[in-house]
Structure 1
């Protein structure tokens, strides 16, 4: 005869354990490496654009076909009523006072959000875009391939477009994630307007504008990768966000449609005054600008470029006593 109970104490009934979810593909790769890969990809695209449009006969011919030289004077200024507004836009954006105010705004927003380091990096990114574009234009030779609509003067890449792209993305470094999606569409449209103005005014070819956008994107991805690595964060956007991707693509497409609609429908007499090649160059440059800017903003959509995160205490793994 046994005295007392025979209940098992402290034992658990064996059973199937719940399956652990596999990490998402984006979460498995640190954000800094993804940004570094995006920077290298942009630099490779920049080099390919220069090699094709500057060094080859088909590239120089295509630049000349899109933006032909004027019959009188031999310049690339387009014969359209948009020349005056284009020069006004370029003069305004090239004003040292306006640039200083915009760069100061980046620093002020960074200081107010306690992201001053990110603001300083953003300002350096804009200045670096101006220096690098000028150095490339001086160092990159443009061969004479006996093309009637081309010259040996190299203007690749555009300093105005690279600075505008870098300035837009500098604000991405200091703004919170929710504010970036409100900035990306009008900001990319503004960059597209500046790129279009350089082509209409005859300052740059189509390839120069595309190269300026690629240079600005490459510098931003490199700067963001450095900030993320310094912060010690693997990325706040590691969770799957398929809906966010489609929403971003839809917003970029809607912005492009509005831009083209405003050009063709709202002001048809202005669009009619632009030659077909220039109109194609403007639309394609605007589409590529929105795509590239939207892609990198989506890549860092929830990332906070702030100070390094403090180390989190590790939970205790010791066994608990049953009383």
Structure 2
């Protein structure tokens, strides 16, 4: 072959450039969820170790809720004590829990997410079992902290159940509908957590531990579901084409979130501040903020995952 030949020696004919893989597709959703689940478990363990086993942790719990302990004599002095007990009585009603779990199953059946719905129900029941087992196994030493006792109530089963109930609906809803449930769902979990603290059933750390336990159970369960064939969302080219629409939706959701936050600060917070002691107010706001961050993280982690049951290929000829 002559030197001036138009054909290159030892090289393949150049073709169209291949698109580079999207950055967000490098790590599979199942691996992201698994990592988040492990992280939530570690955070749960660290929270329990700090607040249950150390003097500073017990002191901080006592500072926020001076007499927060299971039993009627440890209820907080607040005009919201009666409503808090009513919330706990209603939330502890087995009929209500059965109705909510039934709603999860119904939505899963209608949306072809029955397997995800069954996993969600298992998450809620698992939260009850795990919270009870941890409370029984974890000992609380007497560190001579004023207003503290050796009774362990970490983590809160009520808050763990409320969190897993919210997240079980995330499994059976379409991806675009999950973010609209995040804010009212967070408010519901916060109300249950605040009620347990005001009624003296749980400390601040117990409520925080309940949120972390619920998030850990969700992430581990969702990681298994996301690993199934057909669970992944749209590929990179589709994501690029819809980036403009997603940006506008994000701006609209952010605006709604800011309006909701402003309403809370202007309307709810002053009334709450006048009705509860300052330490309890700080504890409630801290749990609310932690729950909001946790639920927001969950919505982001499953943004590209659809838990719809894949079609049965064996039925095709």
The equivalent residue for 1:28 is 26
CA distance in 1, matches of 2:119, 2:160: 16
SS at match of 2:98: helix
Which ranges in structure 1 are unaligned for 5 or more consecutive residues?
Answer: 1-13, 312-323
Deviation string for 1:227-276 (max 9, x for gaps)? Answer: 111235444476476847777666656544433433223x3xx5223111
Which structure features the higher share of helix residues?
Answer: 2
CA distance in 2, matches of 1:36, 1:152: 34
The equivalent residue for 1:276 is 278
2:196 aligns with one of 182, 195, 198: 198
Deviation string for 1:99-151 (max 9, x for gaps)? Answer: 00000000011011111111111000100011100100000001110001211
Q: CA RMSD in A?
A: 2.7
The equivalent residue for 1:107 is 105
1:298 aligns with one of 297, 300, 307: 300
Deviation at 1:306, TM superposition (A): 1.6
In the alignment, structure 1 residue 264 sits paired with structure 2 residue 262 = no
CA distance in 2, matches of 1:195, 1:287: 12
Deviation string for 1:186-226 (max 9, x for gaps)? Answer: 01111011111111111100000000000000111111111
Partners of 1:184 and 1:294 within 8 A in 2: yes
Assess, with a 3 A threshold, how the Cα gap between structure 1 residues 259 and 309 changes in structure 2: closer, same or farther. Answer: farther
Q: In terms of Rg, which structure is larger?
A: 1
Deviation at 1:74, TM superposition (A): 8.9
Partners of 1:157 and 1:211 within 8 A in 2: yes
Deviation at 1:75, TM superposition (A): 3.7
The equivalent residue for 1:316 is none
The equivalent residue for 2:4 is none
Which ranges in structure 2 are unaligned for 5 or more consecutive residues?
Answer: 1-11
Deviation string for 1:21-73 (max 9, x for gaps)? Answer: 43222211111000000000100100010011111100000000000128xx9
The equivalent residue for 2:8 is none
CA distance in 1, matches of 2:297, 2:131: 22
The count of aligned residue pairs is: 294
1:42 aligns with one of 22, 37, 40: 40
Q: Residues 174-189 of structure 1 correspond to what in structure 2 (within 5 A)?
A: 174-189=172-187
The equivalent residue for 1:211 is 209
TM-score (normalised: structure 1): 0.83
Assess, with a 3 A threshold, how the Cα gap between structure 1 residues 48 and 221 changes in structure 2: closer, same or farther. Answer: same
In the alignment, structure 1 residue 82 sits paired with structure 2 residue 84 = no
